[in-house]
């Protein structure tokens, strides 16, 4: 087999961090090669170098055996390297075809007008060739996240990508979409494409890849064949210690009602009914999980409970206080923590330092400020403490949030929201983008909240997580709770049926 990509002795130094340390990495033609490693290990950095977004401090890159200086993504694309980022860069009101040809339009003979018909035909052809099942005429705003991702893949193929880099593509997909992506990637390799995949989900690593390179703190630990390893060994290789992939839950009696939601109605951003007459309760010492396929109202529900979205009718009570029409700030005041789904939009101010981000929402309180004056020594002390406690990989608390790795950004939010020890914690996709070691840690902390008689509302697309942590599981489908299961009666299969809108005969209490 020949190597389409060879990265030799790649080093990348950021202020205070060696993100890649003499990394050797090669990609064979037609393989799916996973890059695996802890949060902050240097995976995204290495791929940003290959795609020309960063220049290495030292080291060489060979593309099809030829030494290449990849000065920018334009060069990368010319060399046949395409990258699908985690945050999609699509224009919402444009059609799929328009997005794909954007910046690369076939011009009508003699004129500057775009030949849309040729564009649509070309896009359709590539879609058919690789089994992507994309309709070029639909607008981006009307398609699911999974479909948007396919559009990004198509866009790279349209530009002639032979090598495709995917950075955590499955973090936002449903289990079914993940299977479909697996099939698509296999198809692509059959047609001779080569793929580099970054993912933290060991199940996918095992089912999708041919080879795996494990990186720890910027250094390659090992490159191995997938058929020669298993999930447990990979977890250990990556973190450097044994990791428990399942959590311990003790028997526990739930206490008084902390969150009570009655007949809640909420609209989405397009003014359509997103939450339709939903009622449920979360008690002290209990974790209630909301399970469901993405886009069934979870986002609107969480925003409504946190005062970020208007409640049309119904009632929300938290610790006996009617918060239905409260502002976010006042909801925080009564001891509600919120881990938002979109960490870059809702969770962090990307241009603030870590220390500042860690007191967001509490910055006007003692000890962080007094009589309107910030107490910076305290703010820094607090930042340092949380960085150590939550094992956030960063040179210091003075670093801007935007320069942290994705998983470490997530850990900053988690640290801040746990720190206030909330009566009620609303955790939306709390472990998205985290490595196995960090997931283990966050799960332990969520169970501790329960142990300490706090209430937790967990919103998660990960059925393993839901089944491992929750006392009760409410399934949401098209804006309604279609059933609430006791965790001990729940199985992945039962939940799957309910999440798809199907009915179970027994064991389901309609809400
Ligand atoms: N633009 C930047 N400026 C400064 N430091 C950076 C920058 N980009 C990355 N880093 C640092 O480089 C290190 C590696 O980050 P990288 O994003 O490559 O990690 P990762 O392996 O992709 O982690 P994750 O799984 O959390 O996404 C981290 O310590 C990060 O803080
Ligand atoms: Mg990353």
- The alpha carbon of 436 and the centre of ligand 2 are apart by a number of angstroms equal to 14
Pair (59, 7) in one structural domain = yes
pLDDT for the residue 77: 95
CATH number at residue 306: 3.40.50.300
Asked if residue 367 has a cis previous peptide bond (ω within 30° of 0), the answer is yes
Going by C-alpha positions, the residue among 339, 485, 492, 360 that lies closest to residue 417 is 339
Q: Which of 10, 11, 42 to mutate to test the pocket of ligand 1 (most atoms within 8 A of CB)?
A: 42
Q: Which residues line ligand 1 (CB under 6 A)?
A: 14, 17, 19, 37, 39-45, 393-394, 403-408
Does residue 210 surpass a pLDDT of 50? Answer: yes
Q: Are residues 483 and 438 in the same domain?
A: yes
510 has pLDDT over 50: no
Does 121 share its domain with 82? yes
Same-domain check for residues 168 and 311: no
Do the domain assignments include residue 355?
A: no
Whether 74 is covered by a domain: the verdict is: yes
Ligand 1 atom closest to residue 408's alpha carbon, by position in its atom list: 26
Residues 194, 282: one domain?
no
Return the pLDDT at 331: 95
Q: Parallel, antiparallel, or unpaired: how do β-strands 472-477 and 480-486 relate? A: antiparallel
**Are residues 209 and 69 part of one domain?**
yes
Q: Give the number of the ligand closest to the Cα of residue 21.
A: 1
Do both 108 and 184 map to the same domain? yes
Q: Tell me how many domains the chain contains.
A: 2
Are 223 and 263 found together in one domain?
no
Residue of the CA atom closest to atom 12 of ligand 1: 19
pLDDT computed for residue 319 by the predictor: 96
Q: Nearest bound ligand to CA 394?
A: 1
CA 77 to centroid of ligand 2, rounded, Å: 21
Residue 348: C-alpha distances to residues 5, 89, 238, 374, 409 (Å) = 36, 20, 27, 19, 8
Q: Higher-confidence residue: 81 or 126?
A: 81
Among 192, 211, 239, give the residue marking a domain's end: 239
Question: In which band, very low, low, confident or very high, does the pLDDT at 110 lie, cut at 50, 70 and 90?
Answer: low
| 7, 14, 393, 411: residue to mutate for ligand 1 pocket, most atoms within 8 A of CB | 14
Same domain, 209 and 322: no
Averaged pLDDT for residues 310-330: 96
d(CA 404, CA 351): 11
The answer to whether 28 touches 1, Cβ cutoff 8 Å, is yes
Once rounded to an integer, what is the mean pLDDT over residues 283-306? 94
**pLDDT at residue number 248:** 77
| pLDDT tens per residue across span 228-241 | 999 999 999 998 88
Same domain, yes or no, for 179 and 138?
A: yes
pLDDT of 313 over the 60 cut: yes
Mean pLDDT score, 258-271: 95
Q: Are residues 175 and 305 in the same domain?
A: no
Q: Which domain holds residue 446?
A: 257-335+422-499
Whether residue 215 is predicted with pLDDT greater than 90 in this model: the reply is yes
Q: Is the pLDDT of residue 207 over 80?
A: yes
In a domain, 434, yes or no: yes
pLDDT band at 119 (very low <50, low <70, confident <90, very high): confident
**Which ligand sits nearest to residue 39's alpha carbon?**
1
Among 208, 239, 270, which residue terminates a domain?
239
The answer to whether residue 347 sits within a structural domain is no
- Does residue 264 sit in the same domain as residue 234? no
What Å distances lie between residue 432 and 173, 310, 362, CA to CA?
11, 26, 25
Judge whether 417 lies within some domain: no
Residue 505 has a pLDDT of 57
pLDDT score for 342 = 82
* All residues at 6 or more sequence positions from 72 whose CB lies less than 8 Å from its CB, including other chains: 52, 53
Claim: this prediction has a pTM higher than 0.95: no
Cα 85 to ligand 1 centre (Å): 14
Per-residue confidence (pLDDT) for residue 106, from 0 to 100: 63
Question: Which residue's CA is minimally distant from atom 6 of ligand 1?
Answer: 403
In a domain, 433, yes or no: yes
> Is residue 12 scored above 80 in pLDDT?
yes
Structural domain includes residue 177: yes
Q: What is the pLDDT of residue 511?
A: 45
Mean pLDDT of the chain: 91
Q: Is residue 94 part of a domain?
A: yes
pLDDT in tens, 332-351: 999 999 999 888 888 899 99
- Ligand 2 centroid to Cα of residue 404, in Å, is 9
User: What is the per-residue pLDDT for 410?
Assistant: 93
Distance 119 CA to ligand 1 centre (A): 37
Ligand 1 atom with least separation from CA of 404: 31
| pLDDT of 44 strictly over 90 | yes
């Amino acid at each position: 087999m020949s190597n389409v990509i060879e990265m030799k002795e790649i080093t990348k130094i950021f202020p205070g961090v060696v993100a890649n340390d003499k990394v050797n990495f090669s990609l064979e033609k037609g393989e799916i090669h996973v890059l695996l490693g802890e949060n902050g290990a240097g995976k995204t950095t290495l791929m940003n170098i290959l795609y020309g977004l960063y220049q290495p401090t030292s080291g060489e890159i060979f593309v099809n055996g030829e030494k290449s200086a990849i000065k920018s993504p334009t060069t990368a694309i010319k060399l046949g390297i395409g990258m699908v980022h985690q945050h999609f860069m699509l224009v919402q009101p444009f059609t799929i075809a328009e997005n794909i040809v954007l910046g690369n339009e076939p011009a009508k003979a003699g004129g500057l007008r775009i030949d849309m018909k040729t564009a649509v035909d070309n896009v359709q052809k590539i879609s058919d060739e690789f089994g992507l099942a994309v309709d070029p005429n639909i607008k981006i705003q009307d398609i699911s996240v999974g479909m948007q991702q396919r559009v990004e893949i198509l866009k790279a193929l349209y530009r002639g990508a032979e090598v495709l880099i995917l950075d955590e593509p499955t973090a936002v997909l449903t289990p079914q979409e993940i299977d479909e992506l697996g099939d698509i990637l296999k198809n692509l390799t059959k047609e001779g494409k080569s793929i580099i995949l970054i993912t933290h989900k060991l199940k996918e690593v095992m089912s999708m890849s041919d080879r795996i390179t494990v990186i720890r703190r910027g250094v390659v630990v090992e490159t191995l064949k997938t058929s020669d390893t298993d999930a447990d060994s990979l977890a250990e290789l990556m973190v450097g210690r044994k990791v428990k992939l399942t959590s311990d839950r003790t028997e526990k009696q739930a206490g008084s009602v902390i969150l009570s939601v009655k007949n809640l109605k909420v609209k989405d951003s397009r003014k359509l009914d997103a939450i339709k007459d939903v009622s449920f309760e979360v008690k002290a010492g209990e974790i209630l999980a909301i399970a469901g396929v993405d886009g069934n109202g979870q986002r609107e529900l969480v925003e409504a409970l946190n005062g970020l979205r208007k409640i049309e009718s119904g009632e929300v009570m938290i610790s006996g206080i009617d918060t239905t029409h409260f502002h976010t700030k006042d909801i925080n005041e009564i001891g509600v923590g919120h881990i938002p789904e979109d960490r870059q939009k809702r969770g962090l101010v990307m241009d603030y330092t870590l220390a500042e981000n860690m007191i967001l929402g509490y910055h006007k309180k003692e000890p962080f400020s007094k009589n309107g004056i910030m107490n910076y020594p305290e703010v820094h002390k607090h930042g340092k403490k949380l960085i150590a406690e939550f094992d956030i990989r960063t040179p210091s608390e003075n670093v801007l949030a935007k320069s942290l790795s994705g998983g470490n950004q997530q850990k900053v939010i988690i640290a801040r929201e746990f720190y206030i020890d909330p009566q009620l914690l609303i955790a939306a996709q709390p472990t998205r983008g985290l490595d196995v070691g960090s997931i283990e840690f966050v799960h332990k902390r969520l169970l501790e909240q329960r142990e300490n008689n706090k209430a937790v509302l967990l919103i998660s697309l990960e059925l393993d997580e839901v089944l491992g942590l929750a006392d009760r599981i409410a399934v949401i489908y098209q804006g309604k709770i279609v059933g609430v299961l006791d965790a001990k009666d729940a199985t992945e299969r039962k939940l799957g049926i309910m999440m798809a809108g199907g009915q179970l005969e027994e064991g389901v209490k309609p809400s």
